[in-house]
Structure 1
Amino acid sequence: MNLIAQHPYIKVEKKVEGLSQVVIEIDRVIYLYQDKVVTQHREFPIQIVRDFSFREIANEGGMLYLHSTRGVFAYTVKTSPEAFISAYKSHFK
């Protein structure tokens, strides 16, 4: 299992405490291996991964999309994942 690339993403949780809402960002990492893509709670065999794409949001990061035969999965990123996407495309496209 050789690691090809990795990129940080965040999970945003909102909690209500009293009369205020608190936003909590949890740091996570998406890993690209020769045979799979792994996130905190999901594992995608590389055979079902079709592509990755990125949509920037107001120069403050954006959304990394994993396109698979099981659907599209979105991950919030604070920095551009272009190196991660390029690594995927150079190895699997």
Structure 2
Amino acid sequence: MLKHHVDLDLLRSLIDALELERERNNRQMNRIVCGHHELVKRVEFLESEIPYLRYRADRSAELEYLEHPYSLDGDARCNRPLQE
């Protein structure tokens, strides 16, 4: 009878440990999923900014050519292709 109680107590403690580990894994998985969603949002935001930043860089290059039409060696910049 005593062995039966020891085995039962051992099984209960094992089940409790497994349940605690499962809960810990679930919390960790939730943090990972939330972090993933946050990263996806940040990537989408940054990707949405790319066309605007390209436009600004191109516009700055155009304004630079208008403001300084000649390079330091005296050649007209309009004779060179725009750098991409």
TM range (shorter): under 0.3
> Which has a greater percent of helix?
2
| TM-score normalized with structure 2 length | 0.19
Select the structure of larger CA radius of gyration. 2
| TM-score normalized with structure 1 length | 0.18
